[in-house]
């Protein structure tokens, strides 16, 4: 093999390796994006906490309005409604809210709720200790259920956020086709 | 273009069909690429004619909305991956070995394969138009969840992208391996013709971005059939993630289409201005910085998805930054023409039109890059006008210029200059009648990808359609000119253009089947730009 042929083979090998690495980079963007969203609150994903761990006293002289919103994805035969439209909360204190959900179909259906908080920056300070969105929900035909979410708004919520919206969208759980 | 066949006693090349199927000759493969891309140009163009016929008047006249949408989608895929990219690779195959004094490409067998998988890829894509549920109709950007609703055509679409990606990546590897290892002694990197430089940089863009795209469509495939949830919110994924991955590929992709055009223009303008290219080194560095910056601007395609303000600002400023090296290039082209002894043969006319019209497309791109106004322009006909100015009057005009410029070298005959000029003027006038009014439509709020529209948009759409039909018809003239030139005409000298520089003009016209089997001895004059 001539030296020229050898150096062509070397270049080609390196370039094929780069190609494979870039294919991998496409997949690496998935966890990178999740991490990026976690840090910046980019896609409105809420935070999960355990209640009672290092609890600070609530700020009594500040009130934040929390509005509740609900959506159902097109191929899920459910109806979803918050019990109340909004409540006023003091940062640093846990509150309960409920959503009423009904299965309109005549077969059992499993759904999964996906939360989102707007404005995005507030999602970093919205902490839930219990939520119906933590697990799949099974509803029998025609069944109606009240579902609980227990949350606090962190004391460090930026002062210019006076109100925030908690929105849930129910999807048909993946792998459930009945 | 098939007259390059030169009998060589010592070379037992198969003849007839086998010559083309088994060819490992860079000139034959270049010819195959160019003919293939011309065919794709007309298939994609026929789809554009259907689109313009439907939009000629408000209301639904010819096709149903689903088919209209699949025309829009497949037109884009064919023009990008079938017409512009293979034409660029074809030119690279033909010209790069001639320009750097190499006997052939570094990897001739892989070269054969990267061409011959292309027709199969497009057969897959076009077959989807005849399937249950129709062809892909969710836009060439394939955003989920819409694209996941596609019927039987879905896996075909994904595998088409895979095949085209494999083909382009192999082509890119071949180009880099050739340029890095096969240059004639004395042809240092900074002596290379600019067309070679722009193609090397394009090849790096291909290798860095296409695998990411292949990954993204593979995720779509597993989301639909294998229960993964990369882009499905129900399973914890995020559809916006697809847009990020897609445009991480998609923005470099627009420079994959544009950079070889820059190289062509940088070759032709000095020839017909009879002056060396102004600022050669700055051209190389500008091209490289455009390529690097192109990986940091992707989110300007998706300002409206809901990004933090800091993100929008970052991507806006990064986008603005790209106009600096692009401005350097436009400045250098004009400075090359400045006080030159200019003549206006067809390749030069297309090149000058390129400089003007590509710059118009660049300006509308700047407007789109300003975040607050993009919220108004997003997904309107303004965007359609913008990318057709940079792709049709940009990339395609440069490719036309290249074909006219190198046809004498390929066929051994001069093309019909008079017909060439007619083709130029028809194309330029028609393209502007076609796309300029679309700026106004977009600013007035007409959305893209719709088969019907409010009657307030009727007049401009009719003008645009007339320009569209005129443009489509005038390309038939181009085919006639190319065939006529391949069959005969005035004999071309080896130095077909008086002011042309570069090694390709030192070999006879038509270029023999084998060239530079022993590396040429380069003189100082040969290395001038």
Domains of chain B: 30-184+194-527 (1.20.210.10)
pLDDT at A15 over 70: yes
Nearest Cα of chain B lies from the Cα of A5 at a distance, in angstroms, of: 8
Is A166 a member of any domain?
A: yes
List A residues 84-113 in contact with B (Cβ-Cβ < 8 A): 112
Q: Do B177 and A12 count as a contact with CB atoms less than 8 A apart? A: yes
Do A102 and A147 reside in the same domain of the chain? yes
Out of B172, B209, B245, closest to residue A29 by CB: B245
Q: Which residues contact B133 (CB under 8 A, 6 or more apart)?
A: B150, B151, B152, B153
pTM: 0.91
A1 has a chain B CB within 8 A of its CB: no
For this structure, is B464 an active site residue? no
What share of residues in chain B are helix, strand, coil (percent, to 5)? Answer: 75, 0, 25
SS3 call for A155: coil
pLDDT digits (tens, 9 = 90+) for B135-168: 999 999 999 999 999 989 999 999 999 999 999 9
pLDDT digits (tens, 9 = 90+) for B278-324: 999 999 999 999 999 999 999 999 999 988 888 899 999 999 999 99
Do A137 and A154 reside in the same domain of the chain? yes
Do A90 and A24 reside in the same domain of the chain? no
Q: How far apart are CA B21 and CA B116, in angstroms?
A: 8
pLDDT digits (tens, 9 = 90+) for B190-202: 999 999 999 999 9
Q: How many CB atoms lie within 10 A of CB B98?
A: 23
Residue B71 near residue B63 (C-beta atoms within 8 A) = yes
pLDDT given at position A55: 58
Pick the range with the lowest mean pLDDT from A10-14, A168-172, B214-218, B374-378.
Answer: A168-172
Residue A108 near residue A138 (C-beta atoms within 8 A) = yes
* Residue B412 confidence class, pLDDT cut points 50, 70, 90: very high
Is A177 a member of any domain?
A: no
Q: How many CB atoms lie within 10 A of CB B32?
A: 22
Q: Look-up: residue for tokens 């019907």? A: B452
Is A32 a member of any domain?
A: yes
Optimal mutation site among B181, B183, B311, B314, interface A, most CBs of chain A within 10 A: B181
pLDDT digits (tens, 9 = 90+) for B6-33: 444 455 567 788 889 999 999 999 999 9
SS3 call for B345: coil
Q: How far apart are CA A124 and CA B32, in angstroms?
A: 57
Is A30 a member of any domain?
A: yes
List A residues 3-22 in contact with B (Cβ-Cβ < 8 A): 4, 7-8, 11-12, 15-16, 18-20, 22
**What is the average pLDDT value for chain B, to the nearest integer?**
93
Q: Do A15 and B176 count as a contact with CB atoms less than 8 A apart? A: yes
Q: How far apart are CA B424 and CA B404, in angstroms?
A: 11
- State the average pLDDT over residues B240-256: 95
Q: How far apart are CA A109 and CA A113, in angstroms?
A: 13
What percent of chain B is modeled with pLDDT above 90? 88
Residue range(s) defining the domain that contains residue A76: 47-172
Q: Do A19 and B207 count as a contact with CB atoms less than 8 A apart? A: yes
- Chain B residues with CB within 8 Å of chain A CB: 106-107, 169, 172-173, 176-177, 180-182, 207-216, 219, 227, 229-230, 232-236, 238, 240-241, 244-245, 248, 306-308, 311
Do A13 and A54 reside in the same domain of the chain? no
Biggest CA–CA distance in chain A, Å, is 82
Q: How far is CA B316 from the centre of its chain?
A: 25
Is A90 a member of any domain?
A: yes
- State the average pLDDT over residues A9-33: 94
Beta bridge partners of B491: B413
pLDDT given at position B236: 80
Do A5 and A81 reside in the same domain of the chain? no
Q: Which residues in chain A have their CB less than 8 angstroms from residue B104's CB? A: none
Q: How far apart are CA B516 and CA B507, in angstroms?
A: 9
Do A96 and A27 reside in the same domain of the chain? no
Do A34 and A102 reside in the same domain of the chain? no
The structure tokens listed for A95 are 């509150």
Q: Which residues contact B57 (CB under 8 A, 6 or more apart)?
A: B458, B461, B462
Do A52 and A101 reside in the same domain of the chain? yes
* Residue B5 confidence class, pLDDT cut points 50, 70, 90: very low
* Residue A135 confidence class, pLDDT cut points 50, 70, 90: confident
Is A178 a member of any domain?
A: no
SS3 call for B139: coil
Q: Which of B70, B266, B364, B371 is catalytic?
A: B266
pLDDT at B372 over 90: yes
pLDDT at A176 over 60: no
What Cα–Cα distance (Å) separates residue B126 from each residue in A116, B43, B70, B73, B132?
A: 40, 10, 11, 11, 13
pLDDT at B187 over 80: yes
Q: Do B207 and A18 count as a contact with CB atoms less than 8 A apart? A: yes
Q: Which of B23, B128, B160, B168 is catalytic?
A: B168
pLDDT given at position A178: 43
Is A78 a member of any domain?
A: yes
For this structure, is B494 an active site residue? no
Pick the range with the lowest mean pLDDT from A138-152, B341-355, B396-410.
Answer: A138-152
Q: Which residues contact B104 (CB under 8 A, 6 or more apart)?
A: B24, B25, B26, B97
Question: Which residue in chain A is spatially nearest to B230 when comparing CA positions?
Answer: A30
pLDDT at A128 over 60: yes
Segment holding A80, helix H or strand E: strand A78-82
pLDDT at B454 over 90: yes
- State the average pLDDT over residues B377-398: 97
Q: What is the 3-state secondary structure (H, E, C) of B222-267?
A: HHHHCCCCCCCHHHCCCHHHHHHHHHHHHHHHHHHHHHHHHHHHHH
Angle (CA) B252-B258-B261 rounded to 5° is 150
- What ipTM was predicted for this assembly? 0.88
pLDDT given at position B2: 44
For this structure, is B449 an active site residue? no
Residue B431 near residue B357 (C-beta atoms within 8 A) = yes
Do A91 and A128 reside in the same domain of the chain? yes
For this structure, is B459 an active site residue? no
Do A66 and A104 reside in the same domain of the chain? yes
Do A91 and A145 reside in the same domain of the chain? yes
Residue B145 near residue B232 (C-beta atoms within 8 A) = yes
Residue A107 near residue A31 (C-beta atoms within 8 A) = no
The structure tokens listed for B472 are 């489509």
pLDDT given at position B132: 85
Q: Say what angle helices B108-127 and B26-55 make with each other, to 10 degrees.
A: 20
pLDDT given at position B281: 96
Q: Which residues in chain B have their CB less than 8 angstroms from residue A24's CB? A: 215
Q: How far apart are CA A53 and CA B14, in angstroms?
A: 80
For this structure, is B6 an active site residue? no
What percent of chain B is modeled with pLDDT above 70? 97
Q: Which residues in chain A have their CB less than 8 angstroms from residue B106's CB? A: 8, 11-12
* Residue B373 confidence class, pLDDT cut points 50, 70, 90: very high
pLDDT at B56 over 60: yes
pLDDT given at position A54: 55
Q: Which residues in chain B have their CB less than 8 angstroms from residue A8's CB? A: 106-107, 177, 181-182
pLDDT given at position B232: 86
pLDDT at A42 over 60: yes
Q: Which residues contact A57 (CB under 8 A, 6 or more apart)?
A: A92
Pick the range with the lowest mean pLDDT from A140-154, B258-272, B360-374.
Answer: A140-154
SS3 call for B366: helix
Q: Do A23 and B244 count as a contact with CB atoms less than 8 A apart? A: no
Task: Choose between A56 and A164: higher pLDDT.
Answer: A164
* Residue A1 confidence class, pLDDT cut points 50, 70, 90: low
Q: How far apart are CA B198 and CA B258, in angstroms?
A: 9
Is A100 a member of any domain?
A: yes
- State the average pLDDT over residues A111-117: 89
Q: What total number of domains does chain A contain?
A: 2
pLDDT given at position B3: 44
Q: How far apart are CA B290 and CA B329, in angstroms?
A: 10
Burial of B265 (0-12, 13-18, 19+ CB in 10 A): buried
Q: What is the 3-state secondary structure (H, E, C) of A122-146?
A: HHHHEEEEEEHHHCCEEECCCCEEE
Q: What is the CATH number of the domain that holds A82?
A: 2.60.370.10
pLDDT at B329 over 60: yes
Q: Say what angle helices B85-100 and B153-181 make with each other, to 10 degrees.
A: 10
What percent of chain A is modeled with pLDDT above 90? 44
Q: Which of B196, B213, B219 is nearest to B251 (CA)?
A: B213
Q: How far apart are CA B369 and CA B163, in angstroms?
A: 32
SS3 call for A88: strand
pLDDT given at position A38: 77
The structure tokens listed for B24 are 């490992």
- State the average pLDDT over residues B500-507: 92
Q: How far apart are CA B194 and CA B174, in angstroms?
A: 18
* Residue B435 confidence class, pLDDT cut points 50, 70, 90: very high
Q: How far apart are CA A168 and CA A23, in angstroms?
A: 34
- State the average pLDDT over residues A102-117: 90
């Amino acid at each position: 093999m001539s030296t020229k042929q050898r150096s062509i083979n070397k270049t080609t090998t390196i370039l094929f390796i780069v190609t494979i690495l870039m294919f991998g980079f496409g997949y690496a963007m998935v966890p990178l994006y999740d991490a990026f969203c976690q840090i910046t609150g980019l896609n409105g994903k809420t935070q999960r906490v355990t209640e009672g761990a290092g609890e600070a006293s609530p700020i009594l002289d500040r009130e934040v309005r929390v509005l509740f919103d609900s959506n159902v994805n097109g191929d899920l035969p459910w109806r979803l409604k918050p019990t109340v439209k909004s409540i006023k909360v003091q940062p640093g204190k846990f509150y309960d809210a409920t959503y009423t959900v009904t299965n309109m179909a005549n077969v059992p259906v499993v759904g999964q709720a996906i939360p989102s908080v707007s404005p995005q920056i507030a999602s970093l300070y919205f902490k839930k200790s219990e939520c119906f969105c933590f697990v799949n929900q099974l509803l029998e035909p025609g069944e109606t259920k009240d579902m609980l979410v227990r949350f606090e708004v962190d004391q460090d919520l930026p002062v210019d956020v006076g109100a925030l919206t908690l929105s849930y969208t129910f999807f048909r759980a993946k792998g459930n086709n009945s | 273009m098939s007259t390059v066949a030169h009998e060589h006693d010592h070379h037992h090349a198969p003849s007839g069909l086998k010559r083309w199927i088994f060819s490992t000759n860079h000139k034959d493969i270049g010819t195959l690429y160019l003919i293939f891309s011309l065919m794709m140009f007309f298939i994609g163009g026929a789809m554009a004619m259907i689109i313009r016929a439907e939009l000629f008047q408000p209301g639904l006249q010819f096709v149903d909305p689903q088919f209209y949408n699949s025309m829009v989608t497949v037109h884009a895929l064919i023009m990008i991956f079938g017409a512009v990219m293979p034409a660029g690779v074809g030119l690279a195959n033909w010209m790069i070995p001639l320009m750097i004094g190499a006997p052939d490409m570094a990897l001739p067998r892989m070269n054969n394969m990267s061409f011959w998988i292309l027709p199969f890829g497009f057969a897959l894509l076009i077959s989807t138009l005849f399937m249950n549920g129709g062809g892909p109709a969710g836009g060439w950007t394939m955003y989920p969840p819409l694209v996941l609703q596609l019927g039987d055509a879905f896996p075909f679409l994904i595998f088409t992208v895979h095949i085209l990606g494999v083909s382009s990546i192999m082509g890119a590897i071949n180009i880099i391996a050739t340029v890095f290892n096969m240059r004639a002694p004395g042809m240092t990197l900074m002596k290379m013709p600019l067309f070679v430089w722009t193609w090397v940089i394009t090849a790096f863009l291909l290798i860095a971005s296409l695998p990411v795209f292949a990954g993204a469509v593979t995720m779509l495939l597993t989301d639909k059939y294998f229960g993964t949830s990369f882009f499905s919110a129900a399973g914890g994924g995020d559809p916006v993630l697809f847009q990020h991955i897609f445009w991480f590929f998609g923005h470099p992709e627009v420079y994959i289409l544009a950079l070889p055009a820059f190289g062509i223009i940088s070759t032709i303008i000095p020839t017909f201005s009879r002056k060396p290219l102004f600022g050669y080194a700055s051209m190389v560095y500008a091209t490289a910085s455009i390529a690097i910056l192109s990986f940091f601007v992707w989110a300007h395609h998706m300002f409206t998805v809901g990004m933090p303000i800091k993100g929008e600002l970052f991507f806006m400023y990064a986008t603005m930054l790209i106009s600096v090296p692009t401005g350097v290039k436009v400045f250098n082209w004009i400075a090359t023409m400045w006080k030159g002894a200019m003549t206006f043969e067809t390749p030069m006319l297309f090149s000058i039109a390129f400089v003007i019209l590509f710059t118009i497309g660049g300006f509308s791109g700047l407007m789109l890059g300003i975040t607050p106004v993009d919220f108004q322009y997003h997904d309107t006909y303004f965007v359609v006008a913008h990318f057709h100015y940079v792709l049709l009057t940009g990339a395609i005009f440069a490719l036309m210029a290249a074909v006219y410029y190198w046809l004498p070298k390929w066929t051994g005959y001069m093309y019909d200059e008079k017909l060439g000029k007619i083709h130029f003027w028809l194309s330029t006038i028609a393209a502007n009648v076609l796309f300029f009014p679309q700026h106004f439509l977009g600013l007035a709020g007409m959305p893209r990808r719709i088969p019907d529209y409010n009657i307030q948009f009727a007049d401009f759409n009719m003008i645009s359609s007339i320009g569209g039909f005129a443009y489509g018809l005038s390309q038939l003239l181009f085919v006639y000119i190319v065939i006529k030139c391949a069959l005969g005409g005035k004999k071309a000298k080896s130095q077909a253009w008086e002011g042309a520089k570069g090694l390709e003009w030192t070999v006879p016209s038509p270029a023999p089947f084998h060239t530079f089997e022993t590396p040429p001895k380069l003189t100082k004059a040969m290395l001038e730009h």
